[in-house]
Structure 1
């Protein structure tokens, strides 16, 4: 006769602990939750309750405790995770969020929106009591978010495409970082610098292009014509936009350097150039933006933005807002904090080549 599978054992409750110890569930709760009435419980009874809890492997019901404390100790993270490429930018910020959340005893729930148009409908659903507050990563929100952001769940943004009224935000100095990179290329002697920028409609991409243009302007040098491209912040975007440009400029001098608006775009450009037989940096120098794991592994010169720090600061800022909400104290100001960027020189950076090289 075959052995019947045993039913999974349910988690022990306070009532179970009380029965095992020979006391009421209320008395067991007083001992295990450390309430003031537990001081009136005898030492012998307390020891029986603790022994029963250990025997039954009792664990407090965190959801029930949250209902009492009005705090889930859980934060939400909303972003877009789509496509075939790993989003290293997201992972770097997420790592900072997890570090800070873990240090503060917070859990993190990730909500993936297909696009930010759906955020108006989805974000209120996420804030249904399961989280205390929300971090929105790189939100592209056009409609007034005050119309649909829940008032009971504070929020902060990281790299918002535009300021969200009533929501503090964190940014990196996109324009300043691009200015640093292109100014350095100009000082090395490069003049034909191709900028493979981010997507149209992205404020960060616009600012990086403005930094590219300012570097030329302040150096008193006219940028080369048709040397700005725009594409998604992906390796596929870099590959897809660079090849047609090279074909259009066949027979003309190869750019001396490329400044890409992200490390992922730089990767796509690197793959396309190497497939054509060009060497980096001997034939063409390359600088990315972000300083993700790819840049560090591939020794890509890049503009480092403090992605991990942005994540850690977002958690601290959000927890301050949650504390203020629960104590009915004034919260943090509706403000934007901009963190600095720096140029990191690695193996893909060199001065101009000695002889002009034409695009084949």
Structure 2
């Protein structure tokens, strides 16, 4: 009879576990499903009760608990030198923690998610992703809410929008970088200085252009409207935009490019016109990727600490996964002007 009694003992329900733990059924469900948006002490109390009754999750919940936590690193468009620096930083920071990194990309202009935002976010969570690191990305309110409901944390690198308290992000001192680039060209004696930027509406591009304008205004140098152009941070934009600037009736003697890829494109546009860098045209880039070191001549550029930004993004994501608080929703790392050989005094202003 005792054996029969044991066999017919009713199975403890999640509602009973919730009552014993003093929490809601939804909170118990989050613990069962491996969600991270539960306070550590609450998670421990609920898990202890689940362990005592021998509860074992089934189906999707079991799969989620058995999957090793991962971070997804998402890019839009083709991967370039800029992307490689970020990937290196993310992988280097994740490796010592045993965290998997999944790198994904979607074509430029493609919808950010397939299906509903909730389906997309649940698919991420079911695959073991506990944090999404999105590079130069914009998330809608619906996508942010879906990620939160699925327990997937978001960190954005180089946000296209101005930082806000709803999105954790990592960037660099873009305004200071633009200021230092323009000031260097001014110090060399240039006064006809153009700016060739990336996405016109991108916050980082606006900040770099703002620093550029501030330096020239402080020096009393007027920037003609035709000396300001925008593109998409890519080599082809540098070739096309550089050609347009160099074909002006009064072309600039120096160009500050908002990325290394744009800068190398400008150098090609100059070469195609028989102009020498830096003798006939000075060029300064932004990022300090491998392109800057490999170009001919080596590129003077503003170093954006891309690998460090990737590392900070990972460490921030892991803190969020562990339920820890973070000091600030937006972190900016310092930029630094790196002098090489692509900028010199203009031909009409010899040294001395």
Sort the TM-score into its range (normalised by shorter chain).
Answer: 0.7 to 0.9
Question: Which residue of the partner structure matches residue 317 of structure 2?
Answer: 318
How do residues 288-299 of structure 1 correspond to structure 2 at under 5 angstroms? 288-298=285-295, 299=298
1:146 is matched with 144
Q: Could you list the per-position Cα deviations for residues 134-156 of structure 1 after superposition, in whole angstroms to 9, with x for gaps in the alignment?
A: 11111034556433334311111
**What is the distance in 1 between the residues matched to 2:81 and 2:262?**
12
- Contact map agreement 1:260 1:287 (CA 8 A) in 2: yes
Give yes or no for contact 2:194–2:223 (8 Å, CA) kept in 1: no
Alignment partners' CA distance in 2, 1:348 and 1:235: 17
How many residue pairs were aligned?
283
1:197 aligns with 2:194: no
Residue in structure 1 matched with residue 87 of structure 2 by the alignment: 94
Match of 1:25 in 2: none
Q: What's the offset of the Cα at 1:205? A: 1.1
Structure-2 change in CA distance of 1:355 and 1:141 (3 Å): same
Distance 1:323 1:258, change over 3 A: same
Whole-angstrom distance in 2 between the partners of 1:320 and 1:355: 54
Write the distance in 1 (CA, Å) between the matches of 2:64 and 2:101. Answer: 20
Distance across 2 between alignment mates of 1:273 and 1:265: 12
| 1:267 correspondence with 2:261 | no
Q: CA deviation at 1:333?
A: 5.2
How far off is 1:95 after superposition?
0.5
Aligned to 2:279: 282
Q: CA shift at 1:187, angstroms?
A: 1.2
Instruction: Name the SS for the 2:71 alignment partner.
Output: strand
Is 1:346 equivalent to 2:340 in the alignment? Answer: yes
Q: Distance in 1 between matches of 2:230 and 2:75?
A: 22
Aligned CA RMSD, in angstroms, stands at 2.6
Structure 1 unaligned regions, length at least 5: 1-63, 325-329
Q: Which runs of 5+ in 2 are unaligned?
A: 1-59
Structure-2 separation of matches of 1:206 and 1:68: 41
Matched, 1:73 2:66: no
Report matched runs for 1:97-112 at 5 Å: 97-112=90-105
Residue in 1 aligned with 2:212? 212
2 CA distance for matches of 1:294 and 1:339? 21
CA–CA separation in structure 1 for the residues paired with 2:66 and 2:197: 45
Return closer, same or farther for 1:353/1:168 CA change in 2, 3 Å cut-off.
Answer: same
2:178 maps to which residue? 178
> 1 CA distance for matches of 2:222 and 2:124?
51
CA distance in 2, matches of 1:172, 1:334: 14
Moved more, 271-280 or 213-222: 213-222
CA deviations on 1:201-258 (whole Å, 9 max, x unpaired) are 21111111111100012223323452111111101011122323433x24x3x32211
- Separation of aligned partners in 2, 1:303 and 1:88: 15
Q: Distance in 2 between matches of 1:135 and 1:222?
A: 40
Aligned twin of 1:127: 124
**Equivalent residue in structure 1 for 2:111, among 105, 118, 131:** 118
1:181–1:343 CA contact under 8 A, matched in 2: yes
Deviation at 1:307, TM superposition (A): 0.2
SS of 1:266's partner is: helix
User: Does structure 2 retain, via aligned residues, the 8 Å contact 1:66–1:72?
Assistant: no
TM-score by length of 2: 0.74
| Structure 2 contact 245–252 (Cα < 8 Å) conserved | no
